[in-house]
Amino acid sequence: MDSTRAPAGSPDAQISPGKSIAYWSSHPPTVNSMLGGYPQISRTDLRGSAAFWAKLLRQHPPSAPSPMISVDCGAGIGRVTAGFLSDISSIVDVVEPVESFAKETGKQKLEGQGTIGEVFVKGIEDWTPEMGKYDLIWNQWCTLYLTDKHLVDYLKRCRDAIKRPDGWIIVKENTTKDIRDGHDGKDVYDEDDSSVTRTNEKLLDIFRDAGLTIVANEIQKGFPKGLGLYPVRMYALRPEANKK
């Protein structure tokens, strides 16, 4: 049995990277496309990310402040790179599998002083970051395209790419609605883009399996409830000292 394949019958067993790429390649490189037809949530999303980051720095000040090198994984057209990461970083690398989206990143007007560094046109499941390069690895709305096994393996590579013990891996991702809200509390496969929305509990297990310490975990606030969006959680992760 191929160890990279998900167990038969599990939602992530249905994930097809080729189908996901085909789905997104059929969309124009616009904010509307990136946000599933809800461009109005972009400002709230970016402000939520900035607030989460500011809180982390207040609670866990860096031991040696320095120009920060970040990477925007699953960057799309660079919306997060331009609207947030460039404001807190000196250099932002980009990982994006859809070539038309990756090209659009270079056209973005960066809000901060940071510059765009390397652009990797590939999926995160195929990307091996340079060891010890990054202070911050930002993953937003991209981990849902990986099987559980591939996600654990990917996060292990991210763990090894963090420059110092007080660096960060951030995952900002959809999660399934809580069983208390009438949901069945299980992972959900989306046939359209071949993705899996996981439970909070599943993600926490995956992070631990990858040798990461979960420092913070909170829900993005401010999205209009009438849109019926999945809850979006932000996870702040650091390598476990004994699993390097």
- Whether residue 149 lies inside any domain: the answer is yes
Tell me what pLDDT residue 110 has.
Answer: 87
Q: Which CATH number do you get for residue 185?
A: 3.40.50.150
What is the tens place of the pLDDT at every residue in 83-113? 999 999 999 999 999 999 999 998 888 877 8
- Whether residue 6 lies inside any domain: the answer is no
Structure tokens, 3 = 């160890």
- Whether residue 112 lies inside any domain: the answer is yes
Write the DSSP string, 173-193: EEBPPPGGGT---S-EEETTT
* Average per-residue pLDDT for the chain: 91
- Whether residue 4 lies inside any domain: the answer is no
User: Structural domain tally of the chain?
Assistant: 1
- Whether residue 1 lies inside any domain: the answer is no
- Average pLDDT of span 62-88: 93
Task: Decide if 157 contacts 71 (C-beta within 8 A).
Answer: no
- Average pLDDT of span 24-47: 96
Phi-psi region of 141 (alpha: psi -120 to 50; beta: other; left: phi over 0): left
Task: Decide if 158 contacts 13 (C-beta within 8 A).
Answer: no
Scanning the structure block, which residue is given the tokens 């560094």? Answer: 117
Scanning the structure block, which residue is given the tokens 């496309």? Answer: 33
SS3 72: strand
Scanning the structure block, which residue is given the tokens 């990307």? Answer: 127
In this predicted structure, the answer to whether residue 182 has a pLDDT above a threshold of 90 is no
- Average pLDDT of span 173-201: 83
Scanning the structure block, which residue is given the tokens 């049995």? Answer: 1
What is the tens place of the pLDDT at every residue in 136-170? 999 999 999 999 999 999 999 999 999 988 899 99
Quote the domain boundaries for residue 137.
Answer: 11-243
SS3 26: coil
- Average pLDDT of span 225-230: 92
Tell me what pLDDT residue 243 has.
Answer: 53
Which segments of the chain are extended strands (E)?
A: 69-73, 91-95, 115-120, 136-140, 168-174, 188-190, 195-197, 212-219, 232-239
- Whether residue 51 lies inside any domain: the answer is yes
In this predicted structure, the answer to whether residue 242 has a pLDDT above a threshold of 80 is no
Residue with the larger pLDDT of the pair 67 and 142: 142
Structure letter (DSSP) for residue 134: B
- Whether residue 87 lies inside any domain: the answer is yes
Q: What is the four-CA torsion angle of 100, 86, 93, 200, rounded to 10 degrees? A: -90
> What are residue 39's DSSP bridge partners?
none
Q: Using CA atoms, how far apart are residues 168 and 134, in angstroms rounded to an integer?
A: 9
Scanning the structure block, which residue is given the tokens 């509307």? Answer: 32
Angstrom CA distances, 57 to 9, 47, 93, 226, stand at 41, 15, 21, 33
> What are residue 241's DSSP bridge partners?
none
What is the tens place of the pLDDT at every residue in 5-31? 455 568 999 999 999 999 999 999 999
In this predicted structure, the answer to whether residue 237 has a pLDDT above a threshold of 50 is yes
- Average pLDDT of span 65-90: 94
- Whether residue 202 lies inside any domain: the answer is yes
